Amino acid sequence: MKALLKAAPGAGFEWTDRPEPEAGPGDVKIRVLRTGICGTDLHILGWDDWAASTIRTPLIPGHEFCGEVVEVGELVHDIAVGDLVSGEGHIVCGMCRNCRAGRRQMCIRTIGVGLHRDGAFAEYIVIPGENVWVHHTPIDPDLAAIFDPLGNAVHTALAFSVVGEDVLVTGCGPIGLMTIAVARHAGARFIVATDVSPARLELAMGMGADAVVDVTRESIADVQHVLGMREGFDVGLEMSGSPSALPSMIENMTHGARIALLGLPSDPFAIDWSKVVTHMLTLKGIYGREMFETWNSMSAMMQTSPTLRDRIASTISDRYPAREWETGFAAAKSGGVGKVILDWTQV
């Protein structure tokens, strides 16, 4: 099969032939149809310090995908050959305290598809049956391929109730944009989004934001006054990882506000802990998706809300045949686009 391979430490991938993976009794083999390019994949491509400390080569990367089931292990139930599926990229141990308590997203031994074992940048992938998500209603394969990042957005947006609440979203990359759309769908009152890119701020308005703030030129506090807000935001969704985003967010939250943090900073930074304490703020880290309640929520929303479905699909800006992966990765690296999709039916 054709695959993108990180053959050895260092920058770059190889477009090469690899043996097709074999499915065990508890596994499902999937013919990959589409993959999304994630920021993690860019780190692996460029071989930065994080990649060098995390990735063991040789490795086929890629964890955002959809495909068609071609083989089902004898111990797998409720999945059939021909099903259109996506994959949960976190493979858990099933035996640690969190796994046994049903908190599998908090497994202490999580293995990442495309990070610690071969991933989806190939014509075929094998994952455990329990990690396969079957799409029981019609869905565009491009959209099915981005259920992984959509899950991050849904997990973050629904970490706290947003019904009737004023929500501040910092960072309008693809997942931040999805988060705006989900918060709007879930019943937020005012949604304000911040970024430094005018193009992304324009996209945020299309996702359902009531106002946007270019933090290089405008003040979040001023926008609050324009909207008629009196006491600050009730819920904060930090999606950027920018060192200035969380301190700025804390300055604009009401007493007792709740903040969900998905953005991953590259370096430590200081925040005003006295305000966190005296204003009784709640900060919650978000990693991946709840398994599998987030997946249930995603599928239900995509099935029942055409408006939300269209907004999420609109975050996909570029599509390339898999054989043109270099062009696709260059587009994703440029930072001026939404989600980039590779089509693995064109190799």
Q: Catalytic positions, please?
A: 40, 43
Question: Please, are residues 6 and 59 in contact by the beta-carbon 8 Å criterion?
Answer: yes
Provide the residue type at 268 as one letter. Answer: P
Q: Which of 201, 224, 204, 227 is nearest to 214 (CA)?
A: 201
